[in-house]
Structures are given as structure tokens and as C-alpha cells.
Amino acid sequence: MPRPAIDLFHEAFGAAPRAAASAPGRVNLIGEHTDYNGGPVLPIAIAQRTTAVIGPGADGDEGVLEAVSTRDKQVVRVHWQEALPTGWAAYVGGVLRELWSLEVIPPNGSARVALSSEVPIGAGLSSSAALTVAVTKALAPNLKPRQIAGVAFRAEHDHVGVRCGVMDQTISALGMRDHALLFECASLEATQIPFDARLLLVDTGKRHDLSTGGLNQRRAECEEAVKRLKVELPELQWLASWPAEWLPRLKRALREPLRSRAVHVVGETARTRFAAQLFQEKKLRQFGKLLYESHESCRRLYECSSPELDTVVAAAKRAGALGARLTGAGWGGAAIVLVNKTDKKTVPAIQRAFERAYGRSAPISEVHASAGAHTERL
């Protein structure tokens, strides 16, 4: 659906674009805050996508990026080799720098980029990775999906400075229609698992911006936990690699809040691998129970939930949904709810509970597993 981005490109630059690509947002079924700890995740790519339309820079421009988004339609002009400005154009500048280091674009290369997106920003659906993956695919359509994920990850992590893991960019680049992806973030092993469950997405309307705040703090806590646990197990590289049967030893070795953070990561790692197996065997009821457990662990131990998310999950549970939990980093954003195909009670129950608590409605939609990044015809 490149039309809005194509129109914007013409409007902003008075020229015709050369290429286009789109990439999806994602929801993560289970495996929260495990990615940057070297554990497993189980995301699906969603139908909402970000489209990037690109063209060469203006005549005479060298090393200049001009970027515009349907979000505010303001053209941002960036010398992408120099210090990147704060704001969203830094994500695009980061992609240019990474493509330059792979020698896909020359050091004095210029580009114009117009973006449109259906992925809500800061809703926990990974609008940031949809953006970086779409821009990478548009500028470098011949890179392999894993290379695209790498470029997009480093753009956000190394250049924008969000200490994210590799999950969002990986699913956005590798996603397959009607499949979930079990992805081991340390070994980078990827397994596509058929997905035909009925999954609801509840947007709490509370937004986060991950380039500030809680996520970076949690990452620092996890790093500190690994440092201390290395005294016990010198070969430990990732927090998620701590053996689950050694939890008592871990609890003795760490103080709060590091203890709770580490217990979440180690527990969530085991839970996610088990959940993926149950999902493959279509044991949705048992799988759903693990979703509830995951939410509880995020809420109590990792402290990344919010009252709105807790309201949704509690209402889903009371209504008899198979499972529910926050998805994405948390601190607001969206929750997923797994329901039987014939379920009619859960949606109105969540709506009632949310309206009673917050005096406004929370939009609820169905999620379908969709395709990863691809080029778009102009």
C-alpha cells in the first residue's frame, strides 16, 4: 500500500521516487525481555505495515538525507555522517550509516525518504523496527532478510541509542504469513511455526517512547546481574543461559531488584521454549496458561506492566479467555488475548472493565500473522 508515501514523496520533494518497500510491526506471543538477554522469543508479524518510498538526493547534495513522514509532513534534512539529530530521522540516518559500512551506498551518498505507516507509534507493536526494516529493504532490496534485520537492529541500537534486542527487526524482516517465529536470540536459530489461533490485540492507548526510560534501566540491571553471577559461573555470557534448576543459587547470589529481574528472565526463557512446543502441538489451553504466567512475571518481577494492562489481563481471565499478557516492552502499549474461535464473551467483558476503570474505550482488533518485509511496486 505505498500510495500515501508516494503522494507524500511527490508533495515534499517535487520529484518521482525510484523504489519502495514495506515492513510489518509485530506482536510477541511470549518471551518478554528475553531477547537482549540471549533467550528465546515467539513473535508474529502483523498486518499493519510501514512503507518507505525512496529516491536520490537533490542535484549537488552530498551526504545529505532528506526524510519526511506522513506523521507531521515536515522535511528533516540531515548530514547523516555527522552527529545524528534526536527524533525519528535518526533511525533513517542510522540505516544509511550501516549501509555505508556494508558498502551498499557510497560515503557521500544522498537520499530522499518518505514514510507512511499503519503501525501505531509507541503502542508496543514495534513501529521503530517497521520503520528501519522498511527503509533498509527500500534502499538495499538485494540484502538477505537476516542482513536487513542486522542493519535495522544496529541503526536503532548503535546509532539511535535504544538498547533494544534483535527480536523486532528479525520478525519484521523474516516474518511469514500464517506463521509465528521461534527465535533464539543467542544462537540466532529461527524456526517457523504454523499459526492459526484467534488472537486479540487490546490497545490501552497509553504510549511509551523507548529511547528514554525504563528499558535502558532494565538492561543495565540485567548486565549487572550477569556480572555478579559470573562469580558463580564464570562462563556465563547471557542471563538467559543461567540453568533454570539453579534458581535457588541465583536467588542467594543477587539482591533486589537484580534478583527479581534475573528470576523473570530465567523463568521466561524456560516458559517460552515450553510454550513454543505446546503451540506446535496445538495445545492452546496449556499454552494460554503460560501467557498468564508470563504476564504475572512481567508485572511482579520485571515491573514493566501498567495498571491499564493489568486491567485488560484480569478482565480476560475472568471472562474465561485461554490466555492474556502484555506484549512488547510494556509500561503501557498493548496486550494480547488468546481466545477460542467461538468465544463471544471476552471482547465485551474487556471493554466493560476498561471503560469502568478509565472512562474511555480500548480499541480491540484481531491479529493475523502476516508477511515480513518486501519491496512494493511504484
Q: Which of 131, 148, 334, 349 binds ligand ADP (CB under 6 A)?
A: 131
Nearest to 203 by CA among 41, 370, 46, 50: 46
Task: Check binding of 124 to ligand ADP (CB under 6 A).
Answer: yes
Q: Which of 42, 52, 176, 210 binds ligand ADP (CB under 6 A)?
A: 210
Q: In angstroms, how far is CA 60 from the centroid of its own chain?
A: 37
CB 196 within 8 A of CB 314: no
Q: Which does 334 bind (CB under 5 to 8 A by kind): ligand ADP, Mg ion, none?
A: none
CB 6 within 8 A of CB 378: yes
Rounded to a whole number of angstroms, the minimum distance from the CB of residue 130 to ligand ADP is: 7
31-70 residues near ligand ADP, rule: CB under 6 A: 50, 69
Q: How many residues bind Mg ion (CB under 5 A)?
A: 2
Bridge partners of residue 21, in order along the sequence: 52, 375
Residue span binding ligand ADP (CB under 6 A) among the ranges 208-216, 231-239, 343-351, 354-362: 208-216
Task: Check binding of 128 to Mg ion (CB under 5 A).
Answer: yes
Does residue 168 carry a catalytic annotation?
Answer: yes
69-88 residues near ligand ADP, rule: CB under 6 A: 69, 71, 88
Task: Check binding of 346 to Mg ion (CB under 5 A).
Answer: no
Torsion of CA 117, 123, 124, 125, to 10 degrees: -30
Query: The sheet that has 64-69: what strands, in order across it?
Result: 76-79, 64-69, 111-117, 43-56, 19-28, 374-376
Task: Check binding of 115 to ligand ADP (CB under 6 A).
Answer: yes
Q: Which does 122 bind (CB under 5 to 8 A by kind): ligand ADP, Mg ion, none?
A: ligand ADP
242/331 with CB nearer ligand ADP? 331
For residue 248, give the C-alpha cell. Answer: 535457588
Pick the catalytic residue from 35, 168, 203, 310.
168
CB atoms within 10 A of CB 238: 17
The alpha-carbon radius of gyration of the chain (Å, integer) is 21
Task: Check binding of 93 to ligand ADP (CB under 6 A).
Answer: no
Q: Which residues bind Mg ion (CB under 5 A)?
A: 126, 128
